[in-house]
Chain A
Amino acid sequence: MPERVSRPRAVPYVFLAPAIVLFVLFMAVPIGYTAYLSVRRTKVSGLGLGRGARKEIFAGLDNYAAAIGDGELWAGWLRVIGYGALVLAVMLGFALLFALMLDTKHVHLARFTRISIFLPYAVPGVAATLMWGFLYLPSLSPFGDRPFLSAGAVTFSMANVAVWGGTGFNMLVLYTTLRAVPRDYYEAARIDGAGELQIALKIKIPMLIPAIILTGVFSVIATIQVFTEPTTLRPLTNTISSTWSPLMKIYRDAFVTGDLYSAAATSMVIAAISLVLSFGFLRVVKNRAFGET
């Protein structure tokens, strides 16, 4: 770093330079490149043989039209919405329940149970799916011959892996928020005759609403992009297609069938959906955290 860098005006930009360079190289350029690819396509002339027979040309919104008209992609969206709704409801429900239970008086084994329930956070999604995947196999399952990986059950079995992996982190976020509430509020409520259940319902849960929204939006973004779990489970069952989730279809388009352009268009659609969902959350949370410096 040069000697006379301590001119206050330039300093913040110098300090931010590494982050800005990384942002441009690994976010802005790839996003721009995806947007570019999404409006291109290959034009094949003649038999498509030899140099110059395949040209990349401007395609307008054709790839988007194809993505929106693609029945398999819609089916993927429907599967992921069903899966995501299930994961979100169960995972956040359990996370809230556990956080409230941890925050009650006279709870035993609080430390042990808190650490245990948070533990799956440290387990890679691939490892979690492998463990549950083997537990689902009739030849190994302690639950007998139940068809966990049949067409009807596989969504629930996959949701179980996500709930198992995600509940602890969300529980800890909610619990940390609860710990920051001054205890006086509860004392005041007790003096007014409120029971623990009323305190939970009328003070704690309203206090947790912003944190629940925050964890909810992060979970929605994660479930829209589900890829690791179905991909890892696929070798163990034939009920998960290579296009089970939209992300898996993008991967297949890009790397198996080699249609980068439609993969790019589908990527942009997923990005747009994530952004729309996230903006609501930013509006709710942003000013709360950074209202002042």
Chain B
Amino acid sequence: MTAVTTLTRPEGHARAATRRPFGIAPTAVLVLGAIYTLFPVGWVVVAATKSKAELFSTPTFAPGTGLLSNLTDLFAYRDGVFWLWLLNTVVYAGGGAVLSTAVSTISGYTLAKYAFPGRDLIFNLLIGGILVPSVVLAIPQYLLFSEIGLADTYWAVLLPQILHPYGIYLARIYTQAAIPGSLLEAGRLDGAGEWRLFRQVALPMLTPGMVTIFLFQFVAIWNNFLLPFIMLGDDHKFPLTVGLYTLLAAGANQPSLYNLIITGTMLSLVPLIALFLTMQRYWRTDLSGGAVKS
């Protein structure tokens, strides 16, 4: 730790620095940061309550009286297609994240706990996927799905998002940190098969890590725009991101549609923010080390 050794020679003026040289400054900086991040979210929540007339006339943060009519309008829009977008998003993100977590967990576990020829190669290939730009994949994926008649189906959005390099990376780190090799050895001596060891010994210990992987992938799929944008043509299969985009593309020149877009945006935030706040303790980002505390 070179950084520490350089500090073993105290410099003359160092004493002058007090223990609390910044006073209220750190808090102030963080509060300013929080105001900046909450500002547009607060705005969209307030704006969604305004009627068409109020949106352009009342002060920015003055609540309006149009929330109910905005919601009614949104749900009436093209026979309630917004509901369908919401439902589709839940299917894509929920289904994709469950499958992705399963594949990531068993892959990360295997890469962490077995020594076998080709392990490093397989790991590097799987992790290397993080570096491949999404468009390099999305366009040929679309063409290949078209070949087999699966473009513009739920599968076209679901299947390509199961393999999740970052999830495999996390699962490997969690396994290294959470499961002692001796425990598996003891299980083997007791005659447990490898699948049973994974199911009954490893999985329960990996559950907190799996929730983290699930959340990351759920958010990634929920927020994805490029893949469904390329894959889907039928707006009954759109997720919210593509749906909101088409809503904007249709309504950007018609200020009378702004209420609809704003209300839709507000509603698209609610499920994720709720998930985000209730699952606080699982949002771990120890990218570079095995510092997993449960």
B132 touches A271 (CB 8 A): yes
Which chain A positions have C-beta within 8 A of B269? Answer: 122-123, 127
A211 touches B140 (CB 8 A): no
Closest residue of chain A to B246 (Cβ to Cβ) is A235
Partner of B56, one of A115, A140, A247, A255: A140
B7 touches A202 (CB 8 A): yes
Partner of B4, one of A106, A164, A185, A274: A185
- Distance in angstroms between the alpha carbons of A203 and B7 in the assembled complex: 9
Known: A124-B223, A194-B17, A196-B21. A97 touches B29 (CB 8 A): yes
Q: Which of A2-10, A49-57, A60-68 lies at the interface?
A: A2-10
Chain A CB within 8 A of B106 CB: yes
Interface string of B95-115 (1 = CB under 8 A from A): 000000011101101111111
- Distance in angstroms between the alpha carbons of A34 and B139 in the assembled complex: 8
A225 touches B133 (CB 8 A): yes
- Distance in angstroms between the alpha carbons of A158 and B240 in the assembled complex: 21
B34 touches A117 (CB 8 A): yes
The smallest C-beta distance from A216 to any residue of chain B, in angstroms, reads: 12
**Interface size, B (range):** 35 or more
Chain A CB within 8 A of B77 CB: no
Interface core residue of A8, A27, A31, A33 (most chain B CB under 10 Å): A27
B6 touches A202 (CB 8 A): yes
Closest residue of chain B to A203 (Cβ to Cβ) is B3
- Distance in angstroms between the alpha carbons of A101 and B116 in the assembled complex: 45
B285 touches A271 (CB 8 A): no
**Interface size, A (range):** 35 or more
Q: Which of A40-48, A71-79, A166-174 lies at the interface?
A: A166-174
Known: A112-B34, A125-B223, A254-B139. A221 touches B131 (CB 8 A): yes
- Distance in angstroms between the alpha carbons of A116 and B16 in the assembled complex: 35
A289 touches B144 (CB 8 A): no
Which chain A positions have C-beta within 8 A of B143? Answer: 33, 260
Cβ contacts A to B, 19 pairs, < 8 Å: A11-B110, A15-B107, A19-B104, A30-B144, A97-B29, A98-B29, A102-B26, A112-B34, A142-B60, A177-B289, A185-B1, A188-B4, A192-B8, A197-B17, A227-B225, A228-B225, A236-B248, A268-B136, A270-B133
B-binding residues in A (CB < 8 A): 1, 5-6, 8-9, 11-13, 15-16, 18-20, 22-23, 25-27, 29-31, 33-34, 37, 94, 97-98, 101-102, 104-110, 112-128, 130-135, 139-140, 142, 164, 167-169, 172-173, 176-177, 180, 185, 188-190, 192-198, 202-203, 206-207, 210-211, 214, 221, 224-225, 227-228, 231-232, 235-236, 247, 250-251, 254-255, 260, 263-264, 267-268, 270-271, 274-275, 278, 285, 288-290, 293
A-binding residues in B (CB < 8 A): 1-4, 6-11, 14-22, 25-27, 29-31, 33-34, 36-38, 40-41, 43-44, 47, 55-56, 60-61, 102-104, 106-107, 109-116, 119, 122, 125-126, 129-137, 139-141, 143-144, 159-160, 162-163, 168, 172-173, 176, 193-195, 198, 219, 222-223, 225-226, 229-230, 240-242, 244-245, 248-249, 252-253, 255, 258, 261-262, 265, 268-269, 272-273, 275-277, 280, 283-289, 291
